[in-house]
Amino acid sequence: MEENSSDIDNITYQAWAKTIDVQMHFNDISMKIRNLFISIISALLAFAGVVVVNFEDPYSTFYGIRIHSSLFVLIVAVSSTYLFYFVDRYWYHQLLVGSVKHALAIEQRFTAKYPGFALASTIGNNSPIDVSNRYLLYILGRILGGDSRVKKDKKIHSDAKIAIFYKSIAYANIILVTLISLLGGVCLTQANPNTPIDSCIQVVGTPTESTE
């Protein structure tokens, strides 16, 4: 009977250890996704800066509307941000959460017998950020986190952390798109055969005012 119990404990330990390996695997994938995201966003923002500073005529015309080319780059940046957010938050993070729950189920059964058998639960207890006295993080958690536990427990959990990471960058790019659009990034071209007039405000990019 003791041998039987020992065999069960050994099999359980191997299952738990494998589950921890799976957690590490999904966590590693998530970090690689975020590193790739930062590299792509940095490259896109750098390219947008090059368009603003170096392009002789940074505007493209569509049906009488002139659009600054940097806006296209920033729109791609916003779209990429939400794509990476979906893959990270709703794809691999869900798999990570599943592996954590499985490890917790094993630990809850054997912690009484083996007190040190509590890695997943210890990490889970220490993962949330206490924002009861961190007002900026609390506001970010409420606005960007989309997690009711921020208000209820005054803690930011992993779901809200991921949302804050991606949404803060997405909203910053949306603000840039709005500002550039208002400062001459989007404007109407009044086509007159005799005196062509470009109504763009010359704040963004190179002057494009045409003369007769």
Per-residue pLDDT of the chain (212 residues; tens, 9 = 90+): 445 677 778 888 898 899 999 999 999 999 999 999 999 999 999 999 898 888 777 888 887 788 888 999 999 999 999 999 999 999 999 999 999 999 999 888 888 787 778 888 888 889 889 998 888 888 988 888 888 888 888 999 999 999 999 999 999 999 999 998 888 888 876 544 443 334 454 444 444 444 44
Half-sphere exposure of 96 (CA within 13 A, CB side): 19
Residue 204 domain-assigned (yes or no): no
Report the interhelical angle of 2-54 vs 93-110 (nearest 10°): 160
pLDDT digits (tens, 9 = 90+) for 126-172: 988 999 888 888 898 888 888 888 888 899 999 999 999 999 999 99
57-68: b (≥16 Cβ within 10 Å) or e: ebbeeeeeebbb
Q: What total number of domains does the chain contain?
A: 1
Mean pLDDT computed over every residue of the chain: 84
Outline where DSSP puts E strands in the chain: 59-62, 65-68, 129-130, 155-156, 186-190, 197-198
Residue 6 domain-assigned (yes or no): yes
Count CB atoms within 10 A of the CB of residue 132.
Answer: 10
Please give the model's pTM, rounded to 2 decimal places: 0.81
Residue 206 domain-assigned (yes or no): no
What percent of the chain has pLDDT above 70? 86
Residue 148 domain-assigned (yes or no): yes
pLDDT digits (tens, 9 = 90+) for 159-169: 999 999 999 99
Q: How far is 162 from 121, CA to CA, in rounded Å? A: 20
Residue 205 domain-assigned (yes or no): no
Residue 203 domain-assigned (yes or no): no
Half-sphere exposure of 123 (CA within 13 A, CB side): 14
pLDDT of amino acid 3: 52
Residue 209 domain-assigned (yes or no): no
Residue 73 domain-assigned (yes or no): yes
- Structural domain range at position 110: 2-198
